[in-house]
Amino acid sequence: MTRMLIVGPPGSGKGTQASRITRTYGIPDISTGDIFRANIKNETPLGLQVKAIVDAGDYVPDSMTNELVKDRLAQDDAQNGFLLDGYPRTLDQVHYLDELLDSKGQRLEAVIQLVADQDEIVSRLTKRAEEQGRADDSEEAIRHRQQVYLRETSPLIDVYRDRGLLVEVDGLGEMDEVAERIRAALTERGILPVGDRAAVSDESVA
């Protein structure tokens, strides 16, 4: 039962690490962005509502996001754990997730925070934008997204730090290096990869 969140600034490689974490720990990567896109593509009632809101240039309200996440966490593949990516984004969503998990007798085990120097990320993303010819991805725009991330996530990170759930990991470096840092940090907290859990179980039986 491994229930975790992952947070990190744009350009920190969060999506890549999320995919690796889900393979390593045998849990689904639940991204709110993916949930929104799937519901819109399948034209579900919620998906149609979300599409109308997004097309109008508005933010999807917490209540709707909460419903989508609740529905996703009720699916079979999420019963033995999950990695949430992109949720919660507000303190109200934090409280909703608390209540949802409490109602099932469940709790979060860790919140992985990828930490990266802002100037380093901006330099990396600016260089990538130049290489890909993305003139609209200016340094100013990239810095703005970084500031929005910091403003939105700081209150959430403080909450999870106070609860002792925050696992801070250096997000800069090669993908394999960062993945190993995450694995080592989680192992320290007693959160083991699928293969290691099976080995521990076998030893305890023996």
pLDDT value of position 124: 86
- Active-site option among 23, 70, 127, 128: 128
Report the range of poorest mean pLDDT among 163-172, 179-188, 191-200.
Answer: 191-200
Is residue 197 pLDDT above 90, yes or no? no
pLDDT value of position 77: 94
The pTM score is 0.87
Q: What is the DSSP string of the chain?
A: -EEEEEE--TTS-HHHHHHHHHHHHT--EEEHHHHHHHHHHTT-HHHHHHHHHHHTTPPPPHHHHHHHHHHHHTSGGGTTEEEEES---SHHHHHHHHHHHHHTT----EEEEEE--HHHHHHHHHHHHHHTT-TTS-HHHHHHHHHHHHHHHHHHHHHHHHTT-EEEEE--S-HHHHHHHHHHHHHHTT---HHHHHHHHHHHH-
Indicate if 128 belongs to the active site.
yes
For the chain, give every domain's residue range. 2-116+165-200
Report the range of poorest mean pLDDT among 110-114, 125-129, 182-186.
Answer: 125-129
End-to-end Cα, the chain, rounded Å = 22
Reported confidence tier of residue 196, pLDDT bands at 50, 70, 90: low
Indicate if 23 belongs to the active site.
no
- Per residue in 75-116, pLDDT (tens digit) is 999 999 999 999 998 999 999 999 999 999 999 999 999 999
Indicate if 41 belongs to the active site.
no
d(CA 76, CA 107): 17
Please, what CATH class does the domain formed by 2-116+165-200 belong to? alpha beta
- Per residue in 54-69, pLDDT (tens digit) is 888 887 899 989 988 9
Reported confidence tier of residue 170, pLDDT bands at 50, 70, 90: very high
pLDDT value of position 205: 41
- Active-site option among 89, 124, 143, 197: 89
